[in-house]
Structure formats: structure tokens, C-alpha cells
Amino acid sequence: MISILRLGHRIHRDIRVTTHLALTARAFLADNFYYTGQSDSSFENSIEKINQKWGSLFRVRYIPDYKNFLKEIKALKIHLTMYGELLPNKIEEIRNCKNDILIMVGGQKVPPYIYQIADLNISVTTQPISEISSVAIFLNEFFKGKPLTHEFKNSKNKVIPQQKSKKVIKR
Ligand SMILES: C[S@@+](CC[C@H](N)C(=O)[O-])C[C@H]1O[C@@H](n2cnc3c(N)ncnc32)[C@H](O)[C@@H]1O
């Protein structure tokens, strides 16, 4: 089981980024998406609609108290940060881990607590990028490129890749 924890969601300012982060995590085969900050039913509904149309059992859950959540969850906790250890040097160790994995990403400034509670602080390049791209690249590396061609079995719609037009089959 692989989950994302997005820290510090703000309803109006972050709706687009948090939605895109969840869509990316879903498409790149994460199982769960947890978020802290402000609870946002409109964000949660938009992801549920995507699941209904395009498949996946991806679940979104709001976490009111992230410190408590992080104390209780049994998973390898990985914080993505440009200041962490380089992903290529750690990916094999992470793939070999038998536990569930929780990937933590920030939005605004991340509290020092997250760096401390993380089992691993991992960088996806040592340049500032974004939570969306770091999660996409992490998951694609973790799954060795499998997400790029994956099809969700329970999808109502299936895209047939085309060179110059859109083709979608209803199932
Ligand atoms: C736009 S950045 C904001 C960073 C913020 N200024 C800070 O000090 O934490 C949002 C998130 O993207 C992720 N991120 C940005 N660059 C990264 C990198 N090179 N490697 C891994 N994660 C990164 C981190 O999780 C970060 O909290």
C-alpha cells in the first residue's frame, strides 16, 4: 500500500495544486491520499468523480491532526524535499521495504517536525520543483515506469491512444 500525505491544504489558494497532486498520485498508482490543513469537500468530490469515470480504488481522506496520524500510522515515512538524500541512491532500498509507504509532501514551508519524523528525507533532484512533479517522478521510479502504460480495470472509459484525435470507448 502506498499513500501520499499532503500537508497544509488551503481551500481557495491550493484547490488547483492539491487536485492536480491527487490526480497525479492516482494516475501513478498510489492507493490513498491523505491531506491536512483545511477540510475541502469540493476537492474530495472532484477526485471521487474522476474515480467513477476513469477507474481506480484511490481514496482521499482528510486528517485533522497530522502529528497524531503520523504517530499511529505503520508505514515507512518518506518526506520528499530538495534537501534530502538523492532518490537514485535510495530507490532500491525503498523498493525492497516490506512495509506500507507514506510519502509526505509540503506546499508552504514544511515544519521541522516532518524532517525529524521521516524515516527518509528524499530529493528528486536538488533543485526546487513542485510537490506534483516530485510525487510523479518518485512513483514512476518506484514502479519502474509501469504507471505510464497502466489501465485501471474498473474504468467506465478507455482512451485509445491516437496521433491526432481523441478516441474514447465507453465500457
Ligand atoms: C513548492 S515546494 C515548497 C517548498 C517550501 N518553500 C519549503 O521550504 O518547504 C512544495 C513541496 O514540493 C516538494 N519538493 C519541491 N522540490 C523538491 C525536490 N527537488 N525533491 C523532492 N521534493 C520536492 C516538497 O515536498 C515541498 O514541500
Q: Which of 5, 13, 131 to mutate to test the pocket of ligand 1 (most atoms within 8 A of CB)?
A: 131
pLDDT in tens, the chain (171 residues): 999 999 999 999 999 999 999 999 999 999 999 999 999 999 999 999 999 999 999 999 999 999 999 999 999 999 999 999 999 999 999 999 999 999 999 998 899 999 999 999 999 999 999 999 999 999 999 999 999 999 999 999 999 999 999 999 998
pLDDT digits (tens, 9 = 90+) for 22-56: 999 999 999 999 999 999 999 999 999 999 999 99
The closest alpha carbon to 83, from 140, 121, 57, belongs to: 121
Q: What's at 152, amino acid-wise?
A: F
Q: Which of 80, 122, 137 to mutate to test the pocket of ligand 1 (most atoms within 8 A of CB)?
A: 80
User: Which CATH code fits 2-170?
Assistant: 3.40.1280.10
- What pLDDT is recorded for position 41? 97
Prediction pTM value: 0.95
Whose alpha carbon is nearest atom 26 of ligand 1?
A: 106
Q: Which alpha helices (H) appear in 6-130, and where do they start and end?
A: 11-27, 41-54, 66-72, 87-95, 112-117
Which residue carries 512533479 as its cell? 133
CA–centroid distance, 20 to ligand 1, in Å, is 15
Show me where the domains of the chain are located.
2-170
- What pLDDT is recorded for position 7? 98
3-state secondary structure of 58: coil
For 165, residues 6+ apart whose C-beta sits below 8 A from its C-beta are: none
Whose alpha carbon is nearest atom 17 of ligand 1?
A: 82
Q: Cα–Cα distances in Å, from 103 out to 42, 46, 108? A: 23, 22, 16
Whose alpha carbon is nearest atom 18 of ligand 1?
A: 82
The C-alpha angle 86, 104, 96, rounded to 5 degrees, equals 55
- What pLDDT is recorded for position 108? 85
The set of protein residues with a Cβ atom below 6 angstroms from ligand 1 is 80-82, 105-107, 109-110, 123-125, 127-131, 134
- What pLDDT is recorded for position 171? 84
